[in-house]
Structure 1
Amino acid sequence: MTPLCFPDVHTRVSATEWAQRVNLAAAFRLADHYRWTDQIYTHFTAKIPGTEHFLINPYGVLFGEVTASCLVTVDLDGTVILDPTGMGINPAGFLIHSCVHRARPDFLCVLHTHTASGLAVAAQKHGLLNLTQHAMRFHNRIGYHDYEGVALEPAEQARLVRDLGGHKAMILRNHGLLAAGTTIRDAFEQLYYLERACEAQVKALAGGVEVIECDPAIAEKVAQVLDRPGRSAYDTDWPALLRWLDRTDGSYRD
């Protein structure tokens, strides 16, 4: 796949914005590798630190061809600041992400997917079950938002924010998954384990035998361990993923 590269963008933006572009482009490429894509129809965003602007994918670019230089810069009101491709942005993506960025300035990154497993769990009335350690990290730490149709009505934004609450993850019922974080790495970790938990749940329930749902007290214990500050993984997992990307295809940095 040929990436979209616009060399002049590097010289037109701040060093802070460029670093954020590189990391967000990496998240797109990793999502492509994990097969979390839905053609051009899902969206990742990242705020540019120190500004009210955020980056979002152009509406017409596959995740596997995203580069740092092709990302669109937009403000919280929807004004496009920089659009190297000229393709514009997904209106539903802007509606969902902008309200989270506006309501939660501590969240610098918001990721949204429509994967098969995520959609399957989003269609299950009971939601995410404590069947795996991956799922238990979200015990009492995930929101649920009822489906209201394609996200094009501004009035839905208040309910999206309400249902996310103080969490970093949310299941959009009949729609997909959403994860957010204080960094791109933080949001990506949330999404990775939420996706894995959903995949495991779908496979376990499809097995046709009785499953073991963990006791809530144990689930809370697991969640607290994985929530604890100072975990070494916070500093080591993202660089490892970037090294893997650089070995396989470093064009995301362009």
Structure 2
Amino acid sequence: MAPTASPAPALQSTIPVIKKGDVDAMAAMAHRGKALPGIPSFDSHAEKRQWQLEHMACSFRVFAREGYAEGISGHISVRDPEFEDQFWINPLGVHFGMLKASDMICVNLDGDVVGGNIDGSINAAGYQIHSSVHRSRKDVHAICHTHSIHGRAWSALAKPLDMINQDVCYFYKAHSVYSDYGGIANEASEGQRIAQSLGDGKAVILMNHGLLTVGETVDEAAYLFCLMERSCKVQLLADQTGLEKQIVSDEEAAYNFKMASTPECLYTEFQPHYKYEEHLSNGSFKN
């Protein structure tokens, strides 16, 4: 179907429905080949917890190589697999590129440190944002937020991304804009407003602030963050030409979303990044 040159459709809060049994998105990735492995299962909470922390630490290493670190800003959180009112988050003041699984701090929704690296401190604004999202979205198990360069640049426009290429369609009708910037989110109310703006979506553009993505796994949330940051860069470059953009049609954008934006597919999309970081660091982030 040929793309149209019409303006991007108005953003809607309802994510397109992915009908199971319609198309097997995971199987469709490989042409006449064996489907790639999806999200693993575990025999115990302890095994899953360690796996989550390793993938969380690896996500930070990837973010470091992508240049997302900015002073003490930025955080990733992962909900504990056993206690849904607890989540793990990175310590304050440690560079993304140095983080290991053992550095992470477990905190509950009341703000009490309950496990992990209990000698570390956590970012106050990070706690307010992540606790609010975890509280409001039981389906969300991981959240990523950093002050990446192109995300910050695009956030100043307070606009959703246009569906101008195949990859950005992973956010089709699944991202929003929080345009009520209230300064550094040290107060619970700011975190609550961000969570409300996210709604049931996969990502939110925080005006004058940056990007935030969520997922069922930290791999999904991390991949979406990298993709959204690049999508902001792509749109800024396209807009800079001053030429008319060709917008992907609603039908094709919805199809792309259905085929590529499932939790299993997005988890799989991150695995080359995970394996490459594991190769480069000799798995040091797992300690």
Counterpart CA distance in 1 for 2:262 and 2:88 is 29
* 1:30 to 2:98 alignment: no
2:103 to 52, 70, 86: 70
* 1:151 to 2:211 alignment: no
Matches within 5 A, 1:173-252: 173-227=207-261, 231=265, 234=267, 236-249=268-281, 250-252=283-285
Counterpart CA distance in 2 for 1:123 and 1:25 is 29
> Using a 3 Å threshold, how does the CA distance of structure 1 residues 243 and 128 change in structure 2: closer, same or farther?
same
- Comparing 103-112 and 200-209, the one that deviates more: 200-209
Matches within 5 A, 1:22-61: 22-51=54-83, 52-61=85-94
> How many Å apart are 1:85 and its aligned residue?
7.0
Counterpart CA distance in 2 for 1:246 and 1:189 is 16
| Percent sequence identity over aligned pairs | 32
Aligned length: 240
Matches within 5 A, 1:42-121: 42-51=74-83, 52-82=85-115, 84=117, 86-121=119-154
Matched with 1:130 is: 163
Counterpart CA distance in 2 for 1:36 and 1:137 is 21
Which contiguous aligned blocks of 4+ residues in structure 1 show a shift greater than 4 angstroms? Answer: 228-231
Could you tell me which amino acid in structure 2 is paired with residue 154 of structure 1? A
Counterpart CA distance in 2 for 1:61 and 1:183 is 23
**Counterpart contact for 2:75–2:126, Cα < 8 Å:** yes
**Superposed CA offset, 1:4-23 (max 9, x none):** xxxxxxxxx94332222111
> Using a 3 Å threshold, how does the CA distance of structure 1 residues 229 and 93 change in structure 2: closer, same or farther?
closer
Counterpart CA distance in 1 for 2:117 and 2:260 is 39
> Using a 3 Å threshold, how does the CA distance of structure 1 residues 217 and 240 change in structure 2: closer, same or farther?
closer
Counterpart CA distance in 2 for 1:243 and 1:83 is 25
> Using a 3 Å threshold, how does the CA distance of structure 1 residues 174 and 82 change in structure 2: closer, same or farther?
same
Counterpart CA distance in 1 for 2:143 and 2:262 is 21
What residue ranges of structure 2 are gaps of 5+ in the alignment? 1-44
Question: Secondary structure of 1:143's partner?
Answer: strand
Counterpart CA distance in 1 for 2:169 and 2:209 is 22
Counterpart CA distance in 2 for 1:144 and 1:89 is 26
1:172 to 187, 194, 206: 206
**Counterpart contact for 2:129–2:192, Cα < 8 Å:** no
Question: Secondary structure of 2:171's partner?
Answer: coil
**Counterpart contact for 1:43–1:93, Cα < 8 Å:** yes
> How many Å apart are 1:62 and its aligned residue?
0.5
> Using a 3 Å threshold, how does the CA distance of structure 1 residues 14 and 92 change in structure 2: closer, same or farther?
same
Counterpart CA distance in 1 for 2:53 and 2:136 is 22
- Comparing 176-185 and 119-128, the one that deviates more: 119-128
Question: Secondary structure of 1:82's partner?
Answer: strand
CA RMSD of aligned residues (A): 2.1
Counterpart CA distance in 2 for 1:169 and 1:213 is 20
Counterpart CA distance in 1 for 2:158 and 2:59 is 30
> Using a 3 Å threshold, how does the CA distance of structure 1 residues 127 and 240 change in structure 2: closer, same or farther?
closer
Counterpart CA distance in 1 for 2:150 and 2:270 is 24
Could you tell me which amino acid in structure 1 is paired with residue 221 of structure 2? A
* 1:18 to 2:50 alignment: yes
> Using a 3 Å threshold, how does the CA distance of structure 1 residues 72 and 199 change in structure 2: closer, same or farther?
same
What residue ranges of structure 1 are gaps of 5+ in the alignment? 1-12
Counterpart CA distance in 1 for 2:222 and 2:98 is 18
Q: Which has the higher contact order (CA 8 A, sep 6+)?
A: 2
